[in-house]
């Protein structure tokens, strides 16, 4: 299937993953309609810089980038964009992010991640969208401790409201796939990092603190493992998934249901590196790049956090013939290069 000249709507376009996806789509001469509410959860100037960068990127292409500042909760505004621009595919990346923030402001997650996502689903149904891809999260695995984490596993025990909202998104999408034959693909991202990243993520916090000679808080006394996934691998996976619509699984067994698939046109995929790294090794790689030691403050585990993540990406590889594989050595180096240039360090 050729995506050339198709219009693609990306919500969360000024966000970390949304920005990189829009950039890739623009480079490949696709018309992109971006939506973002530009909230102040983190530095709004970084979001503005991302948008400025995207607008400049269109100068040397035949693509168009059209941006709207709106909340997904505003159903009238969302419907107006769908009606006016007629996107054929939608990638919903807009959400209130962050596990720890969900402990402080749970209502933000209900409004953005539940009400907002329902408005997207309704628009996709009413305007006959060909394929909806939506961001889920590795957080949905919650209290699961069997590694690697597989889409075939039960995920009914979330340990944060953020995770619960993402699990709810998966359930909502499936119901629309079943009721309205809307092809939907859920994306369980595993600890995404890279240039232009979010300031509330570990790599950003650690880099900033080390450069400023400030201590970094290392949770669970450093006894944590994460499946860090580089942003370019995330975008490559998304581009390939956009092209491949989920089909009804005619072999689905309702007596022994497989959570990763369905009789409806619905799929769920882990997108991770499948090469988990000890948090202290990750910090050591940051130190190597900065040529500076971190001042470490070992603290207890935060509520809502999990000790270990590791993605089983077998289903993703089988579906799109691609496996995220960028090493933290390369990924951290690229982030720090960007960080020093952007902040003029």
The predicted-structure confidence for 6-21, as pLDDT tens digits, reads as follows: 899 999 999 999 999 9
Q: How many domains does the chain have?
A: 1
Mean pLDDT of 310-320: 97
**295 CB burial (10 A radius; 0-12, 13-18, 19+):** exposed
Residue 5 has pLDDT above 80, yes or no: no
Catalytic (active site) residue 162: yes
Q: Is residue 263 part of a domain?
A: yes
Residue 3 has pLDDT above 50, yes or no: no
Give the residue numbers spanning the domain of 266: 7-193+229-273+310-325
Contacts of 285 (CB under 8 A, 6+ apart): 328, 329, 332
Residue with the two structure tokens 């369980």: 188
Q: Is residue 135 part of a domain?
A: yes
Residue with the larger pLDDT of the pair 265 and 112: 265
Quick one: pLDDT at residue 1? Answer: 39
pTM comes to: 0.94
Which residue pairs from 41-50 have beta carbons closer than 8 angstroms and sit at least 24 positions apart in sequence?
41/96, 41/97, 41/98, 41/101, 41/200, 42/198, 42/199, 42/200, 43/199, 46/196, 46/199, 47/14, 47/15, 48/14, 49/342, 50/14, 50/15, 50/19, 50/196
pLDDT tens digits, residue range 220-277?
Answer: 999 999 999 999 999 999 999 999 999 999 999 999 999 999 999 999 999 999 999 9
Mean pLDDT of 89-112: 84
pLDDT tens digits, residue range 284-297?
Answer: 999 999 999 999 99
Residue 83 has pLDDT above 90, yes or no: yes
Mean pLDDT of 120-138: 97
pLDDT band at 102 (very low <50, low <70, confident <90, very high): confident
One DSSP character per residue, 269-332 reads EEE--S--EEHHHHHHHHHHHHTS--EEEE-PPPTT--SB--B--HHHHHHHS------HHHHH
Q: Is residue 291 part of a domain?
A: no
Q: Is residue 305 part of a domain?
A: no
Q: Is residue 280 part of a domain?
A: no
CATH number of the structural domain spanning residue 163: 3.40.50.720
Q: Is residue 282 part of a domain?
A: no
231 phi and psi, to 5 degrees? Answer: -60, -35
Q: Is residue 315 part of a domain?
A: yes
Q: Is residue 284 part of a domain?
A: no
Mean pLDDT of 208-223: 94
Mean pLDDT of 40-50: 95
Mean pLDDT score across all residues of the chain: 94
pLDDT band at 343 (very low <50, low <70, confident <90, very high): very high
Residue among 41, 101, 141, 162 flagged as catalytic: 162
């Amino acid at each position: 299937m050729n995506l050339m000249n198709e219009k693609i709507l990306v919500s969360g376009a000024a966000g970390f993953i949304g920005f990189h996806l829009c950039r890739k789509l623009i480079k490949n001469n696709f018309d992109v309609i971006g939506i973002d509410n530009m909230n102040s959860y983190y530095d709004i100037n970084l979001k503005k810089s991302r948008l400025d960068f995207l607008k400049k990127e269109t100068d040397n292409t035949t693509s168009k980038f059209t941006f709207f500042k709106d909340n997904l909760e505003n159903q009238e505004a969302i419907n107006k964009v769908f009606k006016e621009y007629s996107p054929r595919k939608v990638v919903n990346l807009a959400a209130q992010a962050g596990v720890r923030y969900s402990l402080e402001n749970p209502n933000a997650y209900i409004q953005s991640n539940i009400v907002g996502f329902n408005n997207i689903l309704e628009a996709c149904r009413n305007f006959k969208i060909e394929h909806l891809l939506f961001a889920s999260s590795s957080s949905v695995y919650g209290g699961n401790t069997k590694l690697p984490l597989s889409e075939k596993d039960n995920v009914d025990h979330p340990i944060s409201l953020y995770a619960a909202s993402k699990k709810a998104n998966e359930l909502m999408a499936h119901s629309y796939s079943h009721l309205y034959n809307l092809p939907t693909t859920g994306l369980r991202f595993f600890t995404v990092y890279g240039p232009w990243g979010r300031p509330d993520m570990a790599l950003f916090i650690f880099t900033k603190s080390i450069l400023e000679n400030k201590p970094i808080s290392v949770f669970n006394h450093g006894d944590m493992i994460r499946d860090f996934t580089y942003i370019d691998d995330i975008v490559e996976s998304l581009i390939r998934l956009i092209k491949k619509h989920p089909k009804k699984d005619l072999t689905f067994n309702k007596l022994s249901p497989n959570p990763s698939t369905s009789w409806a046109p619905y799929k769920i995929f882990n997108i991770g590196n499948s090469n988990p790294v000890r948090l202290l090794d990750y910090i050591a790689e940051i130190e190597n790049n900065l040529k500076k030691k971190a001042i470490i403050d070992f603290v207890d585990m935060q509520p809502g956090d999990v000790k270990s993540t590791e993605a089983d990406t077998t289903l993703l590889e089988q579906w799109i013939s691609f496996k995220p594989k960028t090493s933290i050595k390369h990924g951290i180096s690229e982030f720090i290069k960007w960080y020093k240039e952007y902040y003029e360090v």
